[in-house]
């Protein structure tokens, strides 16, 4: 019937339950959420290494005072690219990859709602990053104005400006489509009986994150479009002589930028909220409060943007308002932290690698949150702003926050993906090596900032030498530790002899643990029957 009417020009795969044969058919034309999830995750890991290598250049140049390795222009390129790649190429795609893999499994759907658009969301990314990275080899070199792209500086770039802006447009299109897909999947593809308030927290966190993405990525697109026309078509948005204002860009950018940082942490909250109950063998404390907390954080994220701009000379009332609003975010975030800790209380805990990363997340993210709160205090921010104190803050929330959560999630779900257990021993070695080195790397940066070292400089006064050297040593160590991560993954996927069970973890609850490991190419071809008592949060009625 349909087959004739819908004649397609590629090799039709007649076996509905196996993956398509051939590289092109399976990966390039992919519509399977698991395959696309894998593509995202592999891409993210690759970009993590590319962005990390740039961080290594930064840390090597900062190893000691004096310029030893690179020209200042190149240093600025590294800083800018490092951030863009880590944010748009590593952390965001990693979360989308996890979402792609797990959301359909967790809501009992056969696939994402719009599988072909899903493919496009992914396949835009390699092109976008090719475009971005190619600027490094262009005459006039890559972008050097920092990932925040503030004009007028960002418009001084040579040819790269247009390429970078278009690369950002492509990433934005990809993110928006990915987010639309996730929302449609969650709202439309849930198995019958899986009410919204029975969904796993990870799904909830992604639902809200996807909303944030759709709301702010277009604003970023608008901001960089104005940058483009200011540079190439003579508009005056950011030029005071024409009646505009350079600071206007910062307002628009941070209206995107602040929600963006929560885009990079809310799914992390979700992952950790899955892992801690599993290994504490106790239901998540305050399930509904967790959801309200995520929603409040998302709401607040829209009205605090100018805390990145306390030194631009806003009117007093503006500074005060943005200070108060920013401080408020500590309240819902605190609720989350307290709920995680209370989940552990009177649990029955074991400490496998995912749990170790999740616990480190709770502590180290909170430390990053504390420094965030300090940054919110305007008069104090006059001192902290644009120093390494800020760098320390955001690496705590991003690396030991977002990246640690991604790693926790990877260890947690890896057996479900590949059907084998990873080496617990090497997982733990990876964890301890990372958690120690990352603190050697970023904790001293607080001291540097407080002592007066500005960020985005390739060289510094000798008073800052010692802590910079410690930080660099921690950096190389942390970077090297990530090679272990890759080793563990490759071993688990290709060499591990230890088969994973369906449930994998003793305390695991939820639909994803009711399908075999590895999860077959197609799951839930017919909707599963929901048994509340088997769901992670289904029996939480209050």
Partner 1 sequence: MTSVGIPRILRALGAPALLVVACLASAAAWAANPVPWQLNMTPGVTETSTDVHQLHMIMLWICVVIGIVVFGVMFVAMFRFRKSKGAVAAKWSHSTKLEAAWTIIPVLILIGSAWPATRVLVKMADTSESEMTVKITGYQWKWRYEYVDYFGKSTGVNFVSSLEAQSNRVRQLGSGLDPHGVKAGEFASYLLDVDKPLVLPAGVKVRFVLTADDVIHAWWVPALGWKQDAIPGMINSTWTKVDQPGVYRGQCAELCGKDHGFMPIVVKVVPKPEFEQWLAGQAPAPAAATAATASTTAPQG
Partner 2 sequence: MAQTQGAYYVPHGSSWPIVAAIGMFLTVTGAAHWMNGDTGLLAQPLMFLGIGIVVFMFFGWFGSVIRESVAGLYNNQVDVSFRMGMMWFIFSEVMFFAAFFGALFYARMLSVPWLGGEGHGVLTNAFLWKDFTPAWPTNGPGNVGGAFETIPAWGIPLLNTLLLLASGVTITLAHHALRAGHRRALVLWLAATILLGAVFLYYQVHEYAEAYGHLNLTLGSGVYGSTFFMLTGFHGMHVTLGVIMLTVILFRCLKGHFTRDNHFGFEAVAWYWHFVDVVWLGLFVFVYVL
Give catalytic residues, as residue numbers. 82, 111, 147, 174-175, 258, 260, 262, 273, 307-308, 333, 336, 455
- Residue 122 CB, shortest distance to ligand HEA, in Å, is 19
Count CB-CB contacts under 10 A for residue 33.
Answer: 26
d(CA 391, CA 387): 7
Sites for partner 2 among residues 311-340 (CB under 8 A): 315
Q: Which residues fall within 8 angstroms of residue 536, CB to CB, at 6 or more apart?
A: 200, 201, 274, 277, 283, 284, 509, 510
Cα distances (Å, whole numbers) of residue 525 to 110, 119, 186, 474, 531? 5, 20, 16, 48, 18
Cα–Cα dist 501/489, whole Å: 18
How far is it, in rounded angstroms, from Cα 456 to Cα 80?
9
Q: Give which of Cu ion, partner 1, partner 2, none residue 258 binds (C-beta under 5 to 8 Å, depending on kind).
A: Cu ion
Question: Which residue from 40, 279, 384, 431 is in contact with ligand HEA, where contact means CB under 6 A?
Answer: 384
CA angle 127, 131, 137 (to 5 degrees): 140
For residue 511, count CB atoms less than 10 angstroms from its CB and return exposed for 0-12, middle for 13-18, buried for 19 or more.
buried
Of 542, 528, 339, 478, nearest to 49 by C-alpha is: 478
Nearest distance from C-beta of residue 322 to Cu ion, angstroms: 10
Residues 226-245 that bind partner 2 (CB under 8 A): 226, 228-230, 232-237, 239-245
The DSSP call for residue 456 is: S
Q: Is the CB of 35 or the CB of 319 nearer to partner 1?
A: 319
Residue 95 touches which member of partner 2, partner 1, ligand HEA, none, C-beta under 5-8 Å by kind: none
Give the total of residues touching ligand HEA (CB under 6 A).
Answer: 59
Tell whether residue 359 is a contact of partner 1 (CB under 8 A): yes
Site for ligand HEA in 478-517 (CB under 6 A): 478-480, 482-483
Entry field: residues in the chain: 542
Q: Which does 3 bind (CB under 5 to 8 A by kind): partner 2, partner 1, ligand HEA, none?
A: partner 2
Query: What is the Cα–Cα distance from 81 to 500, expressed in whole angstroms?
Result: 39
Tokens read off for 258: 């602040």
**Residue 378 Cβ vs partner 1, minimum distance, rounded to whole Å:** 5
Does position 352 interact with partner 1 (CB under 8 A)? The reply is no
Alpha helices, DSSP H, located in 108-155: 115-134
Tell me the residue number closest to ligand HEA, measured at CB: 52
Which residue from 126, 122, 142 is spatially nearest to 134, judged by alpha carbons?
A: 142
Query: In sequence order, which residues have a C-beta less than 8 Å from that of residue 82 and are 6 or more positions away?
Result: 51, 54, 55, 58
The answer to whether the Cα torsion of 489, 495, 498, 501 is positive or negative is positive
Rounded to a whole number of angstroms, the minimum distance from the CB of residue 516 to partner 2 is: 18
- Rule CB under 6 A: which of 425-454 touch ligand HEA? 441
Interface pattern 280-299 for partner 1 (x via CB under 8 A): xxxxxxxx-x----------
Among 382, 425, 432, 525, binds partner 1 (CB under 8 A): 382
Per-residue binding string, partner 1, 80-119, x by CB under 8 A, is ----------------------------------------
Q: Which is nearer to partner 1, 148 or 433 (CB)?
A: 148
What does the per-residue mask of binding to partner 2 show for 26-65, with x meaning CB under 8 A? x-xxxx----------------------------------
CA dist 18 to 73, 207, 296, 396, 528, Å? 51, 29, 42, 42, 20
Q: Which is nearer to partner 2, 428 or 521 (CB)?
A: 521
Binding site for ligand HEA (CB under 6 A): 49, 52-53, 55-56, 58-59, 79-80, 82-83, 86-87, 91, 146-148, 261, 264-265, 307-308, 326, 329-330, 333-334, 337, 366, 369-370, 372-373, 375-376, 381, 384-385, 390-391, 393-395, 397-399, 401-403, 441, 455-456, 475-476, 478-480, 482-483
């Amino acid at each position: 019937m349909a087959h004739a009417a819908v004649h397609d020009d590629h090799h039709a795969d007649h076996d509905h339950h196996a993956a398509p044969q051939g590289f092109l058919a399976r990966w390039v034309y992919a519509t399977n959420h698991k395959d696309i999830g894998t593509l995202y995750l592999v891409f993210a890991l690759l970009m993590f290494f590319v962005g990390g290598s740039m961080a290594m250049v930064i840390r090597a140049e900062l190893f000691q005072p004096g310029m030893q390795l690179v020209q200042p222009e190149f240093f600025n390129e590294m800083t800018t690219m490092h951030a863009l790649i880590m944010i748009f190429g590593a952390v965001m795609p990693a979360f989308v990859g996890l979402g792609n893999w797990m959301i359909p499994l967790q809501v009992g759907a056969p696939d994402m709602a719009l599988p072909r658009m899903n493919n496009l969301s992914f396949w835009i990314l390699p092109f976008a990053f090719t475009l971005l990275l190619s600027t490094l080899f262009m005459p006039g070199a890559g972008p050097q104005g920092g990932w925040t792209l503030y004009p007028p500086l960002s418009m001084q770039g040579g040819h790269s400006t247009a390429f970078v802006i278009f690369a950002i447009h492509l990433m934005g299109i990809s993110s928006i489509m990915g987010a639309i897909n996730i929302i449609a999947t969650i709202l439309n593809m849930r198995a019958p009986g899986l009410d919204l308030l029975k969904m796993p927290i990870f799904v909830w966190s992604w639902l809200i994150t996807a909303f944030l993405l759709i709301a702010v990525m277009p604003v970023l697109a608008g901001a960089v479009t104005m940058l483009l026309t200011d540079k190439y078509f003579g508009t005056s948005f950011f030029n005071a002589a024409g009646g505009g204002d350079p600071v206007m860009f910062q307002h628009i950018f941070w209206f995107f930028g602040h929600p963006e940082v929560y885009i990079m942490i809310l799914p992390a909250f979700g992952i950790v909220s899955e892992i801690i109950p599993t290994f504490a063998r106790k239901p998540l404390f305050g399930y509904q409060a967790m959801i309200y907390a995520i929603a409040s954080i998302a709401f607040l994220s829209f009205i605090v943007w100018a805390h990145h701009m306390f030194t631009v000379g806003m009117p007093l009332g503006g500074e005060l308002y943005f200070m108060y609003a920013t401080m408020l975010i500590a309240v819902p975030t605190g609720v989350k932290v307290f709920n995680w800790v209370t989940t552990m209380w009177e649990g029955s805990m074991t400490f496998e690698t995912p749990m170790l990363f999740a616990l480190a997340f709770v502590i180290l993210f909170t430390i990053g949150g504390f420094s965030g709160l300090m940054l919110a205090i305007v008069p104090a921010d006059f001192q902290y702003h644009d120093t390494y104190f800020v760098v320390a803050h955001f690496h705590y929330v991003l690396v030991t926050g977002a990246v640690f959560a991604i790693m926790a999630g990877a260890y947690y779900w890896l057996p479900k993906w590949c059907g084998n257990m990873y080496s617990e021993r090497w997982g733990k070695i990876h964890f301890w090596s990372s958690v120690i080195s990352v603190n050697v790397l970023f904790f001293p940066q607080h001291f540097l900032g407080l002592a007066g070292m500005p960020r985005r400089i390739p060289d510094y006064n000798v008073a800052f030498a010692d802590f910079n050297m410690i930080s660099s040593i921690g950096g190389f160590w942390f970077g090297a530790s990530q090679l272990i991560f890759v080793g563990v993954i490759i071993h688990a996927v290709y060499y591990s002899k230890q088969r994973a069970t369906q449930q994998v973890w003793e305390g695991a609850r939820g639909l994803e643990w009711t399908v075999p490991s590895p999860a077959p190419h197609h799951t839930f071809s017919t909707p599963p029957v929901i048994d509340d008592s088997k769901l992670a949060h289904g029996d939480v009625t209050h």
